Amino acid sequence: MDVRGTVSVDGIIELPPTWIGNINPETINVQLTPIGVFQELFVSTIQYGAKIIVRNNAGGPIKAYYEVTVESKEPTVVHDPTCDV
């Protein structure tokens, strides 16, 4: 699963609501590409698999593209002995 966009000046990336509870948060991968000028961008925190906070180590404004990829959780498989399939 992935999502792409532009990081706003506040540095917050909102992940799709459908991801909550359906992803493995330990597999979140964030790629940041600065727009226009050099920026020392880094991921400050990932909140509950729903929001990513990006910061600029140089202290300047944030303007960047992002791509977030993540693995979905494995679906729960229930064995039903009454089913022949």
Residue 68 has a pLDDT of 96
Tokens (6 digits) for 21? 């509870």
pLDDT for the residue numbered 51: 93
Q: How far is the C-alpha of 34 from the C-alpha of 44, rounded, in Å?
A: 16
3-state secondary structure 6-47: EECCCCEEECCHHHCCCECHHHCEEEEEECCCCCCEEEEEEE
Contacts of 14 (CB under 8 A, 6+ apart): 50, 51
pLDDT of residue 78: 67
Domain boundaries, the chain: 2-69
In tens digits, the chain (85 residues) has pLDDT values of: 899 999 989 999 999 998 888 888 889 999 999 999 999 999 999 988 789 999 999 888 999 999 999 998 876 666 777 766 6
